[in-house]
């Protein structure tokens, strides 16, 4: 086992795989020795230089995950002190491997878990190098998305991860100045990303690609300029095209919930009312009057239950924020229908669902 610790010799990838297998499948002293050897290997200052061999030649998924962990640690702790050549080498290797694994629908499905981790490594590089040392990243990812459907789907996952890292987790992982710079850059280049997303939603027929795009948009909605949401066709597309199909209805209602929670002042009140009206109308086409939901709840599958939960969250959060607006501007039928849904969902024997509805009833009673 100790032979993999000799960094003066080429790595025996097959031996490395056997050591990893001993860690995960071995017992007793063999497993203990494998743990010690792998700990020494991953802690070695040059272990990152072996990652490409492992990722290229290993037959063990666990070995490849260890290699990615080594790269991720390097990027987070030593990236700035590396010379430009190894930095570019790691970046290009990661990009090429992603393109290879996401080049076809079959490969994308087979390698989804591994690709998710590899995408995260790429995003860690982006947090270090973009935009100063990687100014063409957004144009490049938009351009490659138009060449291959499977690659486009994975690119959506990368953009989603980047949004999460910059806007959701940045406070814990980077300085305020760095976070602000990345947010400014994302907003400044968002028009090309938005155009790509709209093009996919208007033309794509592959369900997994449409779903990936909607999930990515969901992460964008909290920070993109309001004009993209309220002055374009996004809301209309969500309500008329993606609310009813079972595969997209859950992420779509989450998008509508996010839009309804935005603090956009009085400028877009008309658009909010129209969204509410279209959404309630769309829900009625799917759910009818929902009269038997409490009796039929246990017969629903997980996806149906999740949708009812998401509907409750959408309606209660929207009405809590905009009740006066819809009472004065929306149709009476839409407002009554929305409250009927909340009332009937309140009757379901499910604690967390009841708590969601109860919070709104408290808001309503207090006026």
Q: What value, to the nearest 5°, has the Cα angle with vertex 69 and ends 65 and 74? A: 150
pLDDT at residue 171 in the model = 65
pLDDT at residue 87 in the model = 97
**Structure token pair of residue 318:** 């929207």
Of 154, 117, 155, 157, give the one whose Cα is nearest residue 137.
155
The whole-angstrom distance between residue 367's C-alpha and the CA centroid of its chain comes to 37
Write down the pTM of the prediction: 0.92
Mean pLDDT of 349-356: 96
Between residues 12 and 172, the one the model is more confident about: 12
Is it the case that residue 211 has pLDDT exceeding 90? yes
Is it the case that residue 170 has pLDDT exceeding 90? no
Rounded distance between C-alpha atoms, residue 97 and residue 55, angstroms: 9
Is it the case that residue 76 has pLDDT exceeding 70? yes
Q: Which residue has the tokens 């779509």?
A: 252
pLDDT at residue 20 in the model = 97
% of the chain with per-residue pLDDT over 90: 93
* CB-count exposure of residue 83 (10 Å: 0-12, 13-18, 19+): exposed
* Tens-place pLDDT, residues 9-43: 999 999 999 999 999 999 999 999 999 999 999 99
Mean pLDDT of 224-252: 96
pLDDT at residue 240 in the model = 96
Is it the case that residue 367 has pLDDT exceeding 80? no
**Structure token pair of residue 263:** 């603090």
The whole-angstrom distance between residue 85's C-alpha and the CA centroid of its chain comes to 31
* Tens-place pLDDT, residues 303-323: 999 999 999 999 999 999 999
Which three-class secondary structure string do you get for 307-361? HHHHHHHHHHHHHHHHHHHHHHHCCHHHHHHHHHHHHHHHCCCCHHHHHHHHHHH
Rounded distance between C-alpha atoms, residue 121 and residue 75, angstroms: 8
Question: From the DSSP assignment, how many helices (H) and strands (E) are in the chain?
Answer: 21, 0
Poorest-pLDDT segment among 165-179, 188-202, 205-219, 285-299:
165-179
109 pLDDT tier (thresholds 50, 70, 90): very high
pLDDT at residue 126 in the model = 95
For the chain, how are helix, strand and coil distributed in percent, rounded to 5?
A: 80, 0, 20
């Amino acid at each position: 086992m100790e032979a993999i610790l000799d960094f003066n010799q080429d790595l025996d990838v097959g031996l490395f795989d056997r050591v990893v297998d001993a860690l995960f499948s071995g017992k007793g002293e063999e497993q203990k020795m494998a743990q010690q050897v792998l700990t020494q290997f991953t802690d070695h200052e040059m272990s990152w230089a072996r990652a490409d061999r492992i990722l290229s030649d290993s037959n063990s998924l666990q070995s490849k995950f260890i290699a990615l962990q080594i790269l991720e640690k390097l990027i987070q702790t030593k990236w700035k002190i590396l010379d430009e050549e190894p930095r570019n080498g790691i970046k290009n290797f990661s990009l090429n491997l992603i393109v290879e694994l996401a080049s076809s629908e079959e490969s994308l499905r087979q390698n989804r878990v591994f690709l998710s981790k590899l995408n995260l490594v790429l995003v860690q590089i982006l947090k270090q190098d973009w935009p100063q040392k990687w100014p063409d990243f957004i144009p490049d990812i938009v351009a490659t998305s138009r060449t291959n459907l499977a690659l486009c789907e994975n690119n959506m996952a990368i953009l989603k991860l980047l949004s999460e890292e910059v806007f959701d987790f940045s406070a814990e992982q980077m300085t305020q100045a760095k976070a602000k710079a990345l947010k400014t850059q994302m907003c400044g280049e968002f028009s090309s990303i938005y155009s790509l997303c709209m093009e996919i939603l208007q033309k794509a027929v592959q369900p997994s690609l449409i779903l990936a795009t909607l999930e990515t948009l969901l992460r964008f909605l909290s920070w993109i300029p309001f004009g993209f949401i309220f002055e374009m066709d996004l809301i209309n597309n969500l309500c008329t095209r993606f609310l009813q199909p079972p595969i997209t209805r859950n992420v779509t209602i989450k998008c509508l919930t996010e839009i309804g929670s935005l603090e956009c002042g009085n400028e877009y009140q008309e658009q909010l009312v129209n969204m509410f009206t279209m959404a309630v109308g769309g829900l009625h086409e799917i759910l009818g009057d929902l009269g038997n939901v409490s009796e039929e709840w246990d017969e629903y599958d997980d996806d149906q239950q999740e949708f009812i939960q998401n509907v409750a969250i959408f309606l209660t959060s929207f009405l809590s924020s905009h009740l006066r607006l819809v009472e004065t501007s929306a149709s009476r039928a839409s407002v009554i229908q929305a409250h009927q849904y909340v009332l009937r969902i309140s009757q379901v024997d499910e604690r967390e669902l009841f708590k969601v509805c109860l919070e709104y009833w408290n808001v309503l009673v207090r006026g």
